[in-house]
């Protein structure tokens, strides 16, 4: 199955940790062995959308966390997280990250 994760909006200057939860797909005792996250542009224009991903994905329990930074105002990024489990499953979650203006 392919599930979407609800991500918060962020401003270009803010950092945001996207959390992808895989709990419903893990068997008892199964853990996340490795994970990776990629970003592409869903709408708008950004010549290097991968730059919103900062550092490596971190598996924590049944979740994967990914720090996001920067981004172009008005762009919606499509973030895909792929996790491999201790039982060899390859699981995917995705979400949309929208870059909004700073409110005063």
Tell me the residue length of the chain: 104
pLDDT(5) > 90: no
User: Which pair of tokens denotes residue 46?
Assistant: 């950004």
Q: Select 2-98's CATH number: 2.60.120, 2.40.50, 2.60.40, 3.30.70.
A: 2.60.40
15-70, pLDDT tens digit by residue?
Answer: 999 999 999 999 999 999 999 999 999 999 999 999 999 999 999 889 999 999 99
Q: How many CB atoms are closer than 10 A to CB 60?
A: 11
User: Which pair of tokens denotes residue 73?
Assistant: 């105002």
Q: Domain coordinates of the chain in residue numbers?
A: 2-98
């Amino acid at each position: 199955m392919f599930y979407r994760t609800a991500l918060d909006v962020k401003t270009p200057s803010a950092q945001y940790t996207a959390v992808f939860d895989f709990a419903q797909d893990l068997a008892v005792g199964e853990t996340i062995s490795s994970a990776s996250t990629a970003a592409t542009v869903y709408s708008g224009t950004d010549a290097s959308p991968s730059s919103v991903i900062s550092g490596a994905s971190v598996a924590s329990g049944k979740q994967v966390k990914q720090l996001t930074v920067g981004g172009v105002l008005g762009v919606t990024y499509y973030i895909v997280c792929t996790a491999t489990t201790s039982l060899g499953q390859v699981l995917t979650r995705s979400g949309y990250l929208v870059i909004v203006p700073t409110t005063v």
